[in-house]
Structure 1
Amino acid sequence: MRVMSWNVDGTFPPAGSPKKIEQRVQWLASLEHLPEILLLQEVNPHRQELWYDLLRNNLGYKAMTDTLDQALALDNSNGHITAIAGDWNLSDNKAQLGKADAPIALEDRELAFPEKFLVTDLAHPAGNIEVLNIRAVPGGEHGVEKLKLLEAAFDWVEAADERPRILAGDLNTPRQSWPTDRPSPSVTIGSQICAAGAWPPSRTC
């Protein structure tokens, strides 16, 4: 199973650039193997229709869910899309709406950016996977809100039931601290879950 997380930086221009969106989809189309699970952050909600059209018709993603309407309603810039290739079923936990099966009530956390927290249930014939598509807002601008988002993600996983789970996204990780005065490289955190015909996936690479 291939999983890809990508911040597509849809903030500028404010209404979203169709050309930039098409370029990103073209790059995805150039990959030898498309990810079965695609997690997009910073998707401009004004271009929801274009994103869905390109993901579905150009790349073959068949199931998608998002927080774009919520981002528009809150006037909070951008939201997320989780897209699934194949014929798997996809359902929203919509934790921010306080659905009963959510392990924590995010509305009680008073998150300023709840649209950055998208939880999806992926129905697989061998068992369900829970997918958390998260973006932690930049700490330099929203330090407290970044911590609240990360704590909510941690608490969600801690309180949830035992089952396969993927947490990925743009976590705005800081530069790594080094004990010497050498330059600190930016840290990129990512993983790909690989399976060799077995379930759950046989290894993480």
Structure 2
Amino acid sequence: MTDNRFRLISWNIAGKVAVNRKQFEALEGRKPDIVALQEVRVNALNNFRELFSEIGLSFIVETATLAKEKGRRIGELIASRWPLQPIPGTDNETPFPERVLSSIMQSPWGDIELHTVHIVPGHGNGWKKIEMFEGVYRRLAYQSDIPRILCGDFNSPQQETTDGQLVTWGEKLEKNGEISGGEGRWAVGERSVLKGLAEYDLPDIFRLLNGYQIQEYSWFMRFKGRIAAKRRFDHIFASKSLNAVECQYLGEVVEQKLSDHAAIEAVFEPDERV
């Protein structure tokens, strides 16, 4: 924390363990106050507990243990400079509960709700992806008395246009610039979180600050040494009272082969008491 601001970094670390220290060093240099990680294996937990404590992020909540209990490999982790109190992240109808982690952070500005998610890809999971989107929307679609942050890897959208249109994986951008297929459940499910939560004071911070003229990407697929596909899958949504002043992607972690995802970083300058 510097003066009246705090820095949050969200990053899908691709389930890696052997490079946890290098991943930490990439984060350490940014001087974060909160780190939200996706795709955390249970055997990486002790690594991150020890490493984050070195920079004062000694409060940690995680769902990697829950993932192991359910016979799955990866969960989420939040490390904070301030105390964290776990709260329910999903309801019983939402699949992959270990991929949604929620807590209340007792910050110098008052309580702030933190939510980090990793929505499963549609390939191999089918409608479970949309059921996760629907579950996240059910959980957060209300006017909250305290400010909130939602961040993570959403495996969506498929595309964005410079005039502000969003194309989900249930839609198609036609040659004439029109979007088709938006009435189906798949498109509605993805859009409910990516756009719909703005109605409940959870706008997309990157787009709020940077507009749509800037095309940035956070996930990269390589084929034969070249980038074959790139998407903006990783997002931060936050209450306006937290006053986000910066939001950017940290692409160097991909160049360093620490993950196939860039980290996303936001800086907030909240009111004295939010």
**Given the two structures, how large is their TM-score scaled by the length of structure 1?**
0.77
**Residues 30-179 of structure 1 aligned to structure 2 (within 5 Å):** 31=29, 33-57=30-54, 59-85=55-81, 88-95=82-89, 106-107=91-92, 109=93, 111-159=94-142, 161-176=144-159, 177=167, 178-179=173-174
Aligned residue identity for 2:268: C
Find the residue that maps to 2:51 and give its secondary structure.
helix
> If each structure's helix is expressed as a fraction of its own residues, which one has the higher value?
1
CA deviation vs aligned residue, 1:35-65 (integer Å, no higher than 9, x gap): 21110000011221122111113x3212110
Structure 1 pair 171–189 and aligned structure 2 pair: CA distance change class (3 A): same
Find the residue that maps to 1:55 and give its secondary structure.
helix
In structure 1, the residue matched to 2:206 is none
> Which structure 2 residue ranges, 5 or more long, are not aligned?
1-5, 160-166, 168-172, 178-228, 236-246, 248-265
1:4 aligns with 2:9: yes
CA deviation vs aligned residue, 1:132-175 (integer Å, no higher than 9, x gap): 11110011121211111111111111246332000000001132
In structure 1, the residue matched to 2:22 is 23
Distance 1:168 1:52 in 2: 21
CA drift of 1:198 comes to 3.6
Aligned residue identity for 2:20: I
1:194 aligns with 2:199: no
Structure 1 pair 53–189 and aligned structure 2 pair: CA distance change class (3 A): closer
Distance 2:108 2:232 in 1: 36
Aligned residues: 178
Structure 1 residue runs of 4 or more that deviate by more than 6 Å after TM superposition: none
Alignment identity in percent?
A: 24
**Given the two structures, how large is their TM-score scaled by the length of structure 2?**
0.59
8 Å Cα contact 1:173-1:188 kept in structure 2:
yes
8 Å Cα contact 1:67-1:115 kept in structure 2:
yes
> If each structure's strand is expressed as a fraction of its own residues, which one has the higher value?
2
> Which structure 1 residue ranges, 5 or more long, are not aligned?
11-15, 97-105, 201-205
